[in-house]
Amino acid sequence: MLIRHADDLTENDVTPQDVYLRRREFLALGAAGIGLGLAGEAAAIPLKGNVSPFSTTEPKTSKEDVTGYNNFYEFGVDKDDPARNAGSLKTSPWTIKIDGECARPGTVDLASFLRGNTLQDRVYRHRCVEGWSMVIPWLGVPLADLLKRYQPTSKAKYVAFETLYRPSEMPGQKRRVLDWPYREGLRIDEAMNPLTLMAVGLYGETLKNQNGAPMRLVVPWKYGFKSIKSIVRISFTETQPRTAWNLSAPQEYGFYSNVNPQVDHPRWSQASERRIGEFRRRPTLMFNGYGEQVASLYRGMDLKKFF
């Protein structure tokens, strides 16, 4: 991955005018080589990188769809609600607390995260449990690179994630659509798998709020709801964490939630999907096409029971 340092950038590289006007802020963060929004819903700042070998070469879903057709129930339940309402979320300052079964609990903020890590550009398939899919160019860091620094102990069997709870800025939290805050979890080997990404950007820019700014998980072989947005806490746990959708409808949403065309949702088939921007349905692939990387994690498990 190539991080463009501030010194390498010309004004032509920084095309949107609002970004150009924020150039001083951007240069102030030159030590990281990366510009960050400094207050509220910051203007997107360019991030650049080379495509990783994990990337698919399939055509990408348009940026308009990736940033305009979202699930983020903290901002409403309709697909266009997040883009419309998420501007109220202040993403700076922002810290993630890391605690639980680890030798070095601590906190991480976005700026130090970006200074200490090399970003990768990963074009991943993204399959929502509702039957639609996208192809999204994310920018992020393998989650394992972050987690290892906190030295999980031998008791750390799982990793639990929590989204911010702030109803004043997340109007959807005023209604009990889910048991807030949104929570997710992975088994530690899933969390440490090289495909699992902590994303901070997409389409070459910092994440927009509707996509989970400033940091969200991306687990491409699982249904999209595992990819929790706007994370404020990561805990290493000995027991399997509770997750928002499993708490809300356990018969419909299991802990594993691997993309699996052979296990139907109780109310619809999971055998096919519609890629946003296309009309035809295409067959859904086991593990969303990432079986080579992840099938071994589930060897010997009955994936109909552990759906």
Binding residues for ligand MTE (CB under 6 A): 70-74, 126, 128, 163, 182, 211-212, 224-225, 227-230
For residue 272, the minimal CB distance to ligand MTE (Å) is 17
For residue 182, the minimal CB distance to ligand MTE (Å) is 4
Assigned token pair, 44: 């997107």
Closer to ligand MTE by Cβ: residue 70 or 235: 70
For residue 23, the minimal CB distance to ligand MTE (Å) is 28
The sign one gets for the Cα dihedral 254, 260, 261, 263 is negative
Q: Collapse the DSSP code of 97 into the 3-class scheme (helix H, G, I; strand E, B; otherwise coil) and give the result.
A: strand
For residue 179, the minimal CB distance to ligand MTE (Å) is 12
Closer to ligand MTE by Cβ: residue 101 or 209: 209
Residue 75 DSSP class: G
b/e 20-47 (16+ beta carbons within 10 angstroms → b) = eebeebbeebeebbbbbbbeebbbbbbb
Q: Are 214 and 230 in contact (CB under 8 A)?
A: yes
Q: Are 41 and 9 in contact (CB under 8 A)?
A: no
How do strand 158-163 and strand 231-237 relate by DSSP bridges? antiparallel
Cα separation of 3 and 49, whole Å?
Answer: 6
Cα separation of 302 and 20, whole Å?
Answer: 53
For residue 237, the minimal CB distance to ligand MTE (Å) is 19
